[in-house]
Amino acid sequence: MNDIENTQNDPDDVNAAVSESAQKPAGEPDPFVVLENLQLENTGLKDKLLRTLADMENLRRRTEKEVADAKTYGVTSFARDMLTFADNLHRAIANVPAEVRAKAEPAVKSLIEGLELTDRDFASRLERYGVKKLDPQGQKFDPNLHEALFEQPDESVPTGTVVQVIEPGYVIGERVLRPAKVGVSRGGPKG
């Protein structure tokens, strides 16, 4: 029993036992450091994942918008070129005086009616592709949609009102294909 008491009371033996249990084999890192490093790595990977997911969502939205814009505005150049055709067709119809129409032979009447039908059909086809005609007669002048060619003194309407449309304008979607060429009033009351 003396040996047991001596062992239990000897501080050197207790320190030796504690130091033996606290020592780790060489090359093994502290488990708390390993756990902390894994948690930091996990946090970094979560951050990267969330950023990547956000980037992918932004890319998806941007792609959807570009596809929608391509569908809406893809025909812009072609539509702009066709406006000249629409203007010329409309001018041809407008330049036939009413008295000529009334006295015209049936063949000429049929030709004029065919031109009018073609004009209406062409306008409806343009509208089907999102091209809309602007007819700003009587509206307030808007420099985003109209091009003022001249001012006309007219005290009966507010200043800045479109009093004459020289050439109609066209828009496609929200964009202006061609501004309407107009005459604007001046000298009237403020709008």
Taking only the tens place, the pLDDT of each residue in 8-53 is: 555 555 455 445 445 555 678 898 999 999 999 999 999 999 999 9
Tokens standing for residue 132: 């809309």
Residue 4 reports pLDDT greater than 90? no
Confidence of residue 172 (pLDDT cuts 50, 70, 90): very high
Residue 171 reports pLDDT greater than 70? yes
Long-range contacts of range 90-96, CB-CB < 8 Å, 24 or more positions apart?
90/119, 93/119
Residue 67 reports pLDDT greater than 80? yes
In eight-state DSSP terms, residue 179 is P
Instruction: Note the pTM of the prediction, 2 decimals.
Output: 0.64
Residue 69 reports pLDDT greater than 90? no
Domains of the chain listed by start with CATH number: 72-186 (2.30.22.10)
> Strand 146-153 relative to strand 175-178: parallel, antiparallel, unpaired?
unpaired
Instruction: Please give the span between the terminal C-alpha atoms of the chain, in angstroms, as a whole number.
Output: 116
- Tell me the residue length of the chain: 191
Taking Cα atoms as reference points, which of 139, 59, 58, 122 lies closest to residue 88? 122
Residue 5 reports pLDDT greater than 90? no
Give the Cα separation of 71 and 64 in Å (integer).
11
Q: Residue 74: its pLDDT value, please?
A: 85
Q: What are phi and psi of 35, to 5 degrees?
A: -60, -45
Residue pLDDT, tens place only, 77-129: 899 999 999 999 999 999 988 888 888 899 989 999 999 999 999 999 999 98
146, 171 Cβ separation under 8 angstroms: no
Write out the DSSP string of 12-77: HHHHHHHHHHH---TTPPPHHHHHHHHHHHHHHHHHHHHHHHHHHHHHHHHHHHHHHHHHHHTTHH
Amino acid at 92: A
Alpha carbon separation from 126 to 84, 105, 151 (Å, rounded): 13, 32, 31
Q: Residue 187: its pLDDT value, please?
A: 81
Give the Cα separation of 44 and 41 in Å (integer).
5
